[in-house]
Amino acid sequence: MTAFIRRFLATPTIEQLTRIEQIAIVDATPRSPVTGVGTGMLMLVGEFEDGPFNEPTEVFGENDEATKFGGFGYKYGSLVSQNPCARVHLGENWNGNAFIQAKFLRPPRKVCVRVDTRVGNVQLRPLASLRTALGPFALAVGQQLTVAPDGGAGVTTTAIAATAATRDGIAFPGAGNNSEFVGGEQIGITIDDNPEVIVTFQAADQTAAQVAARINGFIGYAGASTILAGTGVRIAGVVLGTSGEVTLRNVSGTPLTNIGHTAGSTAGTGNVANLAAVTAAEVAALVNALAGVDAIVDADGRVVVYSPTVATGSINVTAGAMATALGLLAGTTVVANVGEAAVIPAGTRVRTAGGAEWVVMQTISVPAGTVANPNPAFYSAPIRPALDNGTALAAVAGTITTLVDIPRGRMFSVTNADNVSAALSESAIDLAYEAAFAATVDTTKVTREASVSLSARRSTVVNRAGRTNAITASAEGNFGRKFHARIAFGRTQSQAIADVADATQFASDRVFCTYLGMAIRVPEIAVLGSAGGTGFTDDGVVLVGANGALAYINAALPPEENPGQDTGLLSFVLGLEGVIPTGATSPQQLTLESYEAFKAAGLCVPRVDQRAVVAFQSEVTTSQEDGRKTQKRRKMADFIQDTIAILLLPYSKKLATEAREAGIDSKLNALLRGLESKNDPDRARIRTQKMTNTTAQNPTFADRGISSRKVQVGLLNSLDTFLVETEIGEGVVITRDS
């Protein structure tokens, strides 16, 4: 950018014009109100679950936003919507939660600015660790794992033990150790977790060998065998380990007695449930019984074997059959800062010994550490209270020591080197929002193109910050910006009108203020229902600010359109907030006179029309200055002024030749004539226009390097009011035109 874009409300002096190379735009107040709306990028300032702080970032659709800034809360195992941010502030649920406040808003372009609401930081230190392959694992009886921690002697796990479930009978009690079956006797056999099999015996099944053969024919494998010198039967399961089981029952009569058995179940034995499918948790339990070595199961379901010694820890696994079966790197010493890549996701929980809990606020990608390029001693992670409702207590340095959720790839220790503060006060949160807004004025950031701004949090301070930001950003080289504010929930009509009169929060044609909340249904809330706690509802219906909907419309519609029309964009709105005045038992009723008062006060208030369509009634700004009271005028003025500025930028600091002066005139005329569209009136976006080269009228301008133009644009009116005169009755006399 070779010139600054500046805006003035009156023609600047020559001293102002020559102070710096610039494109000076005079936003003169028109003699009478004009109409029109702008368009552009929506800038959302709020609290997210992940992503950079105070760094404006454009997102391209829901998936991209979820990747960069997270969704609603976090997922732990199968549990979703856990520990969401900004549950309640200033008495309003989700006041600050960007996901909820912007749910269903799909502007053409969107830039997110995350507010930094951390209460402190924790240090996550990589530990010396090795990770297994993905289980379950096929092991063998007697296998052991030997691990040497911190350069010491190796320690060895208990040997793997596993036997199948077995039920042994006594010798057949019949004459000659025969079953004395007559044929048709039945027993039920359940092997491990398979369905029950009904075994039907025949009269020929007399000896133990004959009975075992009959059973094997039904169960499909050689599970039955003879014992006691061929006078009894053993029935064994398949699974080796404690999950194996053999269950017997009589189906008809008492045939089990005939073969020396009783009804009942017997389980397998050992220190694993299934030798052929040993779980990661079972392997971790074996390792955790060792001195100086720990093991956990990470988010991928792999076993991480590690030394708990910080910084100087090391670990070495001795080569062997079990190490091979687990897929562990054997025979190599691994130190704390060397290991495979890992990801510590946002939402990772950390705790004190007393159970107080916080969540890591940003995803941390830890690259693979090598001997030549080891990982740093620790990674600093910002944290906030897991239950973000303003009630969390502080934590003294060194008391956060438990890492609840294990990252993928590596093991880390956690501690807080400094004190962690209690939950942020409302004033502290306001300060954080002010810092986030301040980061959006820089013309090198993507927010330079944001013409519509919205805050997920409502407070007096935030409204002031949004107003100041819109005015400052517009004046200092960004595209013309409009802040969409709202009145607090629960305020009556008269209170809302009194609130918007506060000039420090509003009173600008760059501030559009709404009143009344909008009810929407959020599936992510409904999935938990009221069991989710504060802010959750069984049906997922919550109240959000109407300023979000207005910002969405103003960003999505073409600049010449009135945001108060039926756009079809608000189909997600279920209804409007019903405010019950103090002492009343039913919601206030908003009448024609109410909306007239709202318009006069500068409030853009939604209503439900006769067709049950939700739309905004009057698209006013909060300015009380004649000529600056409508959103259409402000947005269309920005649209035209910003476009002119972009057209002029390539000419900045070039020689003032006649050809360049003519080129400027040609470009501006082409823009304005295109908007006027005289040859195709249906495509007209303005009513009339005129561009005059005024450089010659100001001789001193040319001498000082100032090239001036005067642009006048008459905007098209929207169909705000209809007048229909009717005369209906029996005595009506109609004169026909001849």
The tens digit of pLDDT for each residue in 622-677 reads 999 998 999 999 999 999 999 999 899 999 989 988 899 899 999 999 999 999 88
277-315 pLDDT, tens per residue? 999 999 999 999 999 999 999 888 899 999 999 989 999
Domain span holding position 692: 656-721
Structural domains counted in the chain: 4
Residue 1: pLDDT band by 50, 70, 90 thresholds? Answer: low
- Whether the predicted pLDDT of 559 surpasses 70: yes
Q: Indicate if 46 and 147 belong to the same structural domain.
A: no
341-383 pLDDT, tens per residue? 999 999 999 999 999 999 999 999 999 998 899 999 999 999 9
Q: Indicate if 212 and 315 belong to the same structural domain.
A: no
Assess if residue 682 is contained within a domain. yes
As given in the structure block, the two tokens for residue 625 are 């200055």
Q: Indicate if 452 and 556 belong to the same structural domain.
A: yes
| CATH number of the domain to which 234 belongs | 2.60.40
Distance in angstroms (rounded) separating the CA atoms of residues 61 and 361: 22
Q: Indicate if 373 and 445 belong to the same structural domain.
A: no
Q: Indicate if 151 and 99 belong to the same structural domain.
A: no
As given in the structure block, the two tokens for residue 101 are 């406040």
- pLDDT (average), residues 434-447: 96
Count of CB atoms within 10 A of residue 652's CB?
14
Quickly list DSSP for 313-353. -EEEEPPSHHHHHHT---S--EETT-B--EEE-TT-EEEET
The answer to whether 305 touches 129, Cβ cutoff 8 Å, is yes
As given in the structure block, the two tokens for residue 276 are 């052929």
Q: Which among 638, 684, 701, 688 has a CA at the least distance from the CA of 5?
A: 638
Distance in angstroms (rounded) separating the CA atoms of residues 154 and 144: 12
Assess if residue 571 is contained within a domain. no
Q: Indicate if 263 and 287 belong to the same structural domain.
A: no
Measured CA distances, 387 to 85, 155, 431, 717 (Å): 8, 41, 21, 50
- pLDDT (average), residues 242-259: 96
Residue 438: pLDDT band by 50, 70, 90 thresholds? Answer: very high
Q: Indicate if 136 and 188 belong to the same structural domain.
A: no
Residue 197: pLDDT band by 50, 70, 90 thresholds? Answer: very high
Higher pLDDT, 439 or 40: 439
Identify the burial level of 619 via C-beta atoms within 10 angstroms of its C-beta, where 0-12 means exposed, 13-18 middle and 19 or more buried. buried
The answer to whether 244 touches 164, Cβ cutoff 8 Å, is yes
**578 Cβ partners below 8 Å, 6+ apart?**
587, 588
Beta pairing partners, 452: 42, 482
Assess if residue 32 is contained within a domain. no
As given in the structure block, the two tokens for residue 119 are 């209460």
Average pLDDT, the chain: 92
As given in the structure block, the two tokens for residue 591 are 């009448």
As given in the structure block, the two tokens for residue 50 are 């992940």
219-229 pLDDT, tens per residue? 999 999 999 99
Count of CB atoms within 10 A of residue 62's CB?
10
Distance in angstroms (rounded) separating the CA atoms of residues 16 and 134: 70
Q: Indicate if 300 and 314 belong to the same structural domain.
A: yes
- CA dihedral 326→330→332→334, nearest 10 degrees, is 20
Assess if residue 370 is contained within a domain. yes
- Whether the predicted pLDDT of 34 surpasses 70: no
Task: Enumerate the H helices of 397-475 as residue ranges.
Answer: 426-438, 460-475
Domain-terminating residue out of 356, 387, 415: 415
Residue 404: pLDDT band by 50, 70, 90 thresholds? Answer: very high
Higher pLDDT, 490 or 408: 490
The answer to whether 341 touches 366, Cβ cutoff 8 Å, is yes
Q: Indicate if 346 and 405 belong to the same structural domain.
A: yes
pLDDT at 6: 81
Assess if residue 541 is contained within a domain. no
Quickly list DSSP for 36-85. -----EEEEEEB-SSS-BS--EEE-SHHHHHHHH-BSBEEETTEEEES-S
Provide the CB-side half-sphere exposure for 252 (13 A, CA).
Answer: 10
Residues in the chain: 738
As given in the structure block, the two tokens for residue 395 are 């934590």
E strand or H helix at 689: strand 688-693
Residue 32: pLDDT band by 50, 70, 90 thresholds? Answer: very low
Distance in angstroms (rounded) separating the CA atoms of residues 177 and 428: 88
Beta pairing partners, 510: none
Q: Indicate if 387 and 486 belong to the same structural domain.
A: no
Distance in angstroms (rounded) separating the CA atoms of residues 85 and 95: 10
Q: Indicate if 396 and 461 belong to the same structural domain.
A: no
Q: Which among 726, 690, 717, 694 has a CA at the least distance from the CA of 707?
A: 694
Q: Indicate if 432 and 554 belong to the same structural domain.
A: yes
- Whether the predicted pLDDT of 39 surpasses 60: no
102-161 pLDDT, tens per residue? 999 999 999 999 999 999 999 999 999 999 999 999 999 999 999 999 988 899 999 999
Q: Which among 199, 261, 269 has a CA at the least distance from the CA of 234?
A: 261
